Structure 1
């Protein structure tokens, strides 16, 4: 006590005056905030002997006639560290106007590493870079430098709105600190009339510690998926672990154990590796009578779509197809197929983005709950019986967190359905399940990182400037995007980007890093294509060298764009499909023997129209051919020619509904990029056809800038 009195000399010594303190010094405010966030029990103890304010006062905020009477010590204006007063004011205005979409939300938390650096702020004439919890920068020689920023965001559960609530500079993050910040955030949202239904954190050791600090239990035999806040109240809040993080942990577990036993089935990691490193698999099939080659066999190559997610229906179908073809590496893969299919279905459930989705990716509705609940029960029965090669249960091993995350998320989703979707008079009859992942917050963090202007960790000063810039352009309207950096990205794009290391390409990079190869430097002569049952192949057989040259260039375009695509559906639409394996067409596509990949009919048609436009309007001097304006004029004429044409890419019909409903979606972007890439290649002649194909990386060309694609 004597040390505290020496540190805080403004404290009155008379006991009777302790509870009548009207104001606190900045030092006292800092002390109260830090102590409460780091150790609530110590705070409660000291309140008995010191005039510390009630914890409610640390976040209480009063709004009168649109003016802020700020009695919160953890809130600030002008994008400073702490809760954002402006965002909370705008949210309260929407609630007071009766906008039902803002009455309930999901809350998520994520941290971002900072460069520990002391800097001089010319505006405030103070040193920056220190720990700041919203009560001001600590002013002492011993004050630690901040190493992390903790960012909090609220997300609509029935309407896709997002609100960055604030950030805090800390020196080290613990689960107990995150739990306290979440409690304070829930208090502030409750104060303005918004009810928090769920909390989401990363599926990490820190996230697990946060969950335990809030009262969450992940024991599969007695899962506790909710916590009460305020403690002892009747209001319960569910807890979710980020699905992408959980998938990474399950991938790591399967790779670590190599094989996992489940009753009579075995899940083999090697099956996934063999599929990922599959080069150009030569396949033989009897020639059709139309070929005119009696007694011979036709051959073609299958090539792997490296953008395919590991845990997807396409991978399961591809494994089955390769098993049917008789490939030795893929025999006895029924257990692997079953596991991949189960994980794919679970992932789809937690990525529902809107009412226009299809299959299991639709939002949680009363009509599809029975199917989802049955799948959750199947997953639980499957996970709790998984064992390693020694017979030890995976769910009790050191690699259990990923599986426990799915079990906890399933219980939380069922609890939300029972309490907020099913009963009469509930706030919402559908839940956007992607709101329970960290995708919305990662989209904001991606924009924040780009606004910082560097790929490394920013300093506190750079972070604050970037945050201020984003906050100034932040719209709380449903479906709005942050204007800086990620303005062209949708929630679908950010989800695909986050799962980039969960693709077949990431596995191949691990097991076969030197997978790059050089394509032919000139167009090969096409003597005839290989799959005579294909409409495209019939159309291109025995055509003139000019038309075949266009076809080969279209194949180059498809491969060049494929090297930068992350979207499995878009990549599959670039190539000719094999009618004998329609289900796995997004994973395995056809490649000409000794040449480039066969382009799909849609890619061929777009490049043909581009060639016609180039022949008609490309008679200009060589100097003008390099101008950006000339290229844009050609693109415009191609688009005019394409207007009124039959729809392209029939396999993308349902994919149009996967992202936000807007004109600039994956479909339209794909058409534009095919046109631009083809015109770029044609106007730069054959010297630019020396393309280097890197798995999962951008194609590179000599002497020109490679085409950049913004689709997922």
Structure 2
């Protein structure tokens, strides 16, 4: 009986003392947080520290009086993300986490009033004292919109919401602030960032911003931190700030000095790319130094061609990239539009002699140049290939040549009227890129060649992305409140300053892929059973008794010619399918039959896009997919009946594949493998095409729902305003 009681006690303890992964699963199951925040919590503390306190409390052993750094970090982060989730975890796991009042006491030790944060500079001083080498930092500043309102804070018994730059003045005489200027330091030779101050403002002149920057740099020098760069976006006030600091952009002088320290000026490359895209989309036509036309119309033609054919030429170009006016702030749309993949697609259309793309050489050159420059300015390490590699001794000559040519190219771009773009009203994006290229080379020579504190220069560390992610965390505090008020901003800033490890919620990059069981070489498996299991799908529709019309329709499709554009894209997709199937095949002979000779694809899209990782399909794989695409052309033209065609296409091709010589060399190896190999190719390709087709239809359906709801609310408002309606 004693053993039984002890066993039951152990079972109860094992249920109560769950592991750390179970805790995270419970939070996700109860929808207290999403997957991105769950991954953040997993990095804050592990089972060792969390379970140590839980076991000690359940057994009755004395616990440590002070919480460990890992527990403090986990508790503050979880409470920041969701107080409700924090209370749930604390109750469920035997109150092993500190009480919320304890967290409030930790917060009370930080002032976090508007102005420069004393606690942040104390942390920087400690970091500089414990570091074995000089700490190099990039200073970033930007404004965030806040709600214009006065708010009472019961803890400090103070009204917040008026202009406050950290000075003790009569707050009642100042106007209400609508922006918050934040200064943040990002370590270049480390992996941390820290906000050092914020100011509630309405608008600041360049002279006022320059004064704040000088004070910030002076404080950093006093605690032993070396600031080497200053980054901001492109408003006129920021250019005026650089002039006040000592930069002269007209003579390409992009540096200024402060207490014998050289500081390099940067305009955020992402903002520069967006401004450049906006100028290109609205002005429509540029001319380069050779007189070649750079026309936005070619991008529209490419998007229309891909939409009409239902096949994308290895680009991410969509209608949102072309009609971007309601999504101007999305960097993704700008960089994917002005990209190498779009340039490759235009060049291939030119090789296919499609009439709409004749004369697009200037546009291709423009896209390639902008893409290469942005890759260098957004580089992170020396491991990626091509221009995405960070600047180091092995590629500095190539980068200098690229930047020299790009600067001359951008300076000589003209409008149809003959005016240079760098002198026009839309000059900010072009001048910003030129400024960044000059500063990047100077910063590399200063840090790597002169003072020799770095082996390579990761230019991503000087970008404004780190501050934008900080703003995203601030907004997430209020349930993604785009315009928090002054009290909400101050509270979120205070919590983020105290060890809260917060990331942007839009960084999730996990896509589940469905496994397809195909092709085994076991002699114990019945081939007929394997075929039936492989083709078994719940979504299949039974064949009608009289399918003569379908037969005639498919026969006509089989012998129609496919346009050169579609055939080129299908060949490119064939390489992807060959590589995907080869990873799952256990039969080496069948895997070899999927790949072809690269010499047969010299003028193909695969050769143009290949940078070492693409594969070339065999003629048999390409032949199968081209025939299937011909059939699907007729299927997609009838969207109301598309679900009934899946099995029809499948069975039709399988019944008539003997008419064509496909994978004949497999006959000597295993006749059943020939059938299964063709079946696998068909299934993979059709799943891919129907997934794209369904995604496109879903977007149209959601658009109709949005329009319907908008119409409903508009009519409701009209009825409220005028009951006679």
For normalisation by structure 2, the TM-score amounts to 0.55
Do the aligned residues in 1 keep the contact of 2:115 with 2:166 (CA within 8 Å)? Answer: yes
Alpha-carbon shift at residue 204 of structure 1 (Å): 2.1
1:625 aligned partner? none
Separation (CA, whole Å) in 2 of partners of 1:90 and 1:699: 53
CA 1:193/1:538 → structure 2, altered by over 3 Å: closer, same or farther?
Answer: closer
SS for the counterpart of 2:207 is helix
Query: Would you say 1:125 and 2:130 are equivalent positions?
Result: no
Please list the CA deviations of residues 61-108 of structure 1 after superposition, one character each: whole Å capped at 9, or x if unmatched: xxxxxxxxxxxxxxx9332222222222222112111343x6111101
1:99-156, CA deviations, whole angstroms, 9 ceiling, x for partnerless residues?
43x61111010100111111221112222212222235x4353222121111111112
Instruction: Name 2:652's counterpart in structure 1.
Output: none
Matches within 5 A, 1:194-213: 194-213=225-244
- Counterparts in 2 of 1:540 and 1:403: CA distance versus 1, 3 Å: closer
- Output one character per residue of 1:495-552: Cα deviation in whole Å (capped at 9) or x when no partner: xxxxxxxxxxxxxxxxxxxxxxxxxx976899899958937879999xxxxxxxxxxx
Q: Which has the larger radius of gyration?
A: 2
Number of the residue aligned with 2:119? 86
Q: What number of residue pairs does the alignment pair up?
A: 443
Whether 1:97 and 2:130 are equivalent positions in the alignment is yes
Matched, 1:368 2:395: yes
CA RMSD across the alignment: 4.0
Point out the structure with the larger strand share.
1
The offset of 1:693, in angstroms, is 3.2
Alpha-carbon spacing, 1:146–1:368, altered in 2? closer, same or farther (3 Å): same
Does residue 354 in structure 1 map to residue 354 in structure 2? no
Aligned equivalents of 2:580 and 2:139: distance in 1?
Answer: 55
Q: Secondary structure at the match of 1:280?
A: helix
Residue by residue, what CA displacement relative to the aligned partner does 1:528-577 show, whole Å, maximum 9, x if unpaired? Answer: 99958937879999xxxxxxxxxxxxxxxxxxxxxxxxxxxxxxxxxxxx
TM superposition shift of 1:436? 2.1
What 5-or-longer segments of structure 1 have no aligned partner?
1-75, 284-299, 475-481, 494-520, 542-577, 598-673, 683-688, 702-712
Compared CA separation, residues 172 and 487, structure 1 to 2 (3 A): same
1:176-255 correspondence runs (5 A): 176-219=207-250, 222-230=251-259, 234-255=260-281
Contact 1:448 1:484 in 2 (8 A): no
Q: Distance in 2 between matches of 1:522 and 1:165?
A: 58
How far 1:195 sits from its partner (Å)? 0.9
Over 6 Å off, 4+ runs: 521-530, 535-541, 695-701
Q: Which residue of 2 aligns with 1:706?
A: none
1:44-77: per-residue Cα shift (whole Å, max 9, x none)? xxxxxxxxxxxxxxxxxxxxxxxxxxxxxxxx93
Distance 1:86 1:132 in 2: 19
Q: Kindly state the Cα deviation for residue 582 of structure 1 after the two structures are TM-superposed.
A: 4.9
Contact preservation (8 Å) 1:159, 1:432: no
Q: Contact 1:174–1:206 at 8 Å: present in 2 too?
A: yes
* 1:161 to partner: Cα distance: 2.1
Does 1:135 pair with 2:175? Answer: no
Verify the 8 A CA contact 1:203 1:245 in the aligned structure 2: yes
- Residues of 2 paired with 1:535 and 1:236: CA distance? 51
Q: Find the partner of 1:156 among 178, 187, 202.
A: 187
> 1:318·1:584 contact (CA, 8 Å) conserved in 2?
no
CA contact (8 A) 1:321 1:581 kept: no
Pair 1:301–1:473, CA change in 2 (3 A): closer
Q: Which residue of the other structure, out of 99, 108, 111, is the alignment partner of 2:140?
A: 108
* In 2: Cα distance, 1:163 partner to 1:532 partner: 50
2:487 to 436, 455, 461: 461
Cα distance change of structure 1 residues 274 and 77 upon mapping to structure 2, 3 Å threshold: same
Q: Which whole-Å CA distance do the structure 2 matches of 1:374 and 1:303 have between them? A: 29
Structure 1 residue 251 displacement after superposition: 1.5
Q: Distance in 2 between matches of 1:226 and 1:537?
A: 51
Q: Specify the alignment match of 2:316 in structure 1.
A: 305
Separation in structure 2 between the aligned mates of residue 213 and residue 696 of structure 1, nearest angstrom: 53
* 2:293 aligned with 1:266: yes
Distance between the aligned counterparts of 1:172 and 1:532, measured in 2? 56
Q: CA deviation at 1:347?
A: 0.3
* Residues 103 and 699 (structure 1), Cα distance of their counterparts in 2 relative to 1, 3 Å cut: farther
Instruction: Name the one with the larger helix percent.
Output: 2
Question: 1:430 is matched with which residue: 436, 441, 456?
Answer: 456
